[in-house]
């Protein structure tokens, strides 16, 4: 079964095809465990959804990095073990579509279990999410960035302005089962936080690595970068 959905012919689709053949990498984390819980039926490209409104989801570099004085103010997040990244778009009719990282030429209807995300984001909105299993064994969809809200393009805004907007959106929404805001902060702040054993154990998921999302100027990286876990969690590992 196929669902009709949007695609602008030419530029938007072709740009998204580039890099689709590249292998996805999660720095040692398990990949594609959660696809069946996220990806619904595939969409046949016709002419209803505009590809350029889907949030661009960078690949993750295979080479790992270390944190240093030059990267301390880069935007980063803790990557849950087994976490997988997806781009989600809610169209003007509340239709929900999703792409998996590394599959820029494929579009799916979002699995209905995440329909409550409409309570957070209005129609014509796009976001980036990480899906993982927490320490309690519960599947969680963590929203870590928002690139479009109610038809307004936010992709050029500072990453921390988008974080403030995302925080406000969740504050205005009653708690949702399995849908959370996934915190993004300065790399140095995450690094310091994870040096404390109590903090490591209090995080509701097992940490795989730290994922660098933006440069120190706030520009989204062409490829996300894995920051070595042993450096950021040495207290817990000793």
Which has more confidence, 50 or 67?
Answer: 67
The whole-number average pLDDT for the span 82-87 is: 96
Distance CA(50)–CA(115), nearest Å, equals 20
Q: How far is CA 46 from CA 8, 30, 107, in A?
A: 8, 33, 12
Distance CA(106)–CA(108), nearest Å, equals 7
CATH number for the domain spanning 18: value is 3.30.470.30
The whole-number average pLDDT for the span 68-92 is: 92
The whole-number average pLDDT for the span 148-154 is: 96
Percent of the chain with pLDDT over 90: 55
- Report yes or no: 234 and 195 within 8 Å, Cβ to Cβ: yes
Query: 209 φ, ψ to 5°?
Result: -160, 180
Q: What is the pLDDT of residue 138?
A: 97
Residue showing tokens 């404390």: 196
Q: Is 233 helix (H, G, I), strand (E, B) or coil?
A: coil
Q: 119-145 as b/e, with b when 16 or more CB fall inside 10 Å?
A: ebbeebbbbbbbbbbbeeeeebbbbbb
Q: What is the pLDDT of residue 118?
A: 97
> Number of folded domains in the chain?
1
- Report yes or no: 66 and 227 within 8 Å, Cβ to Cβ: yes
Task: Report residue 130 CA to chain centroid gap.
Answer: 5
- pTM, whole model, 2 decimals? 0.83
- The least confident of 45-54, 105-114, 119-128, 199-208 is 45-54
Positions of E strands within the chain: 3-5, 39-45, 59-65, 75-80, 84-90, 96-100, 108-110, 125-133, 139-149, 152-153, 179-181, 185-186, 207-214, 220-227
User: Domain limits at 193?
Assistant: 3-237
Q: What is the pLDDT of residue 199?
A: 87
Q: What is the pLDDT of residue 45?
A: 65
Q: What is the pLDDT of residues 51-64, one digit of tens each?
A: 778 899 999 998 88
Q: What is the pLDDT of residue 49?
A: 62
- Report yes or no: 48 and 4 within 8 Å, Cβ to Cβ: yes
Kindly indicate the confidence band of residue 16, based on its pLDDT and cuts at 50, 70 and 90. Answer: very low
């Amino acid at each position: 079964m196929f669902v009709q959905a949007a695609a602008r012919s030419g530029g938007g689709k072709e740009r998204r095809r580039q890099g689709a053949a590249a292998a996805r990498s999660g720095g040692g984390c398990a990949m594609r465990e959660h696809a069946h819980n996220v990806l619904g039926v595939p969409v046949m490209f016709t002419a209803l959804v505009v590809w350029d409104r889907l949030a661009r989801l960078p690949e993750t570099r295979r080479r790992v990095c270390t944190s240093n004085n030059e990267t301390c103010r880069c935007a980063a997040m803790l990557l849950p073990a087994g976490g997988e990244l997806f781009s989600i778009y809610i169209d003007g009719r509340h239709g929900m579509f999703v792409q998996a990282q590394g599959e820029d030429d494929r579009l799916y209807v979002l699995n209905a279990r995440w329909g409550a995300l409409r309570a957070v984001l209005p129609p014509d909105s796009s976001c980036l999410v990480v899906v993982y299993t927490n320490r309690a064994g519960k599947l969680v969809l963590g929203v870590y960035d928002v690139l479009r809200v109610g038809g307004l393009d936010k992709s050029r805004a500072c990453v921390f302005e988008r974080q403030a907007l995302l925080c406000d959106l969740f504050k205005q929404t009653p708690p949702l089962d399995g849908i959370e805001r996934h915190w993004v902060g300065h790399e140095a702040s995450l690094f310091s936080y994870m040096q404390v054993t109590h903090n490591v154990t209090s995080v509701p998921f097992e940490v795989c690595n730290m994922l660098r999302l933006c440069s120190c100027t706030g520009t989204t990286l062409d490829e996300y970068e894995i920051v070595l876990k042993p450096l950021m969690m040495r207290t817990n590992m000793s």
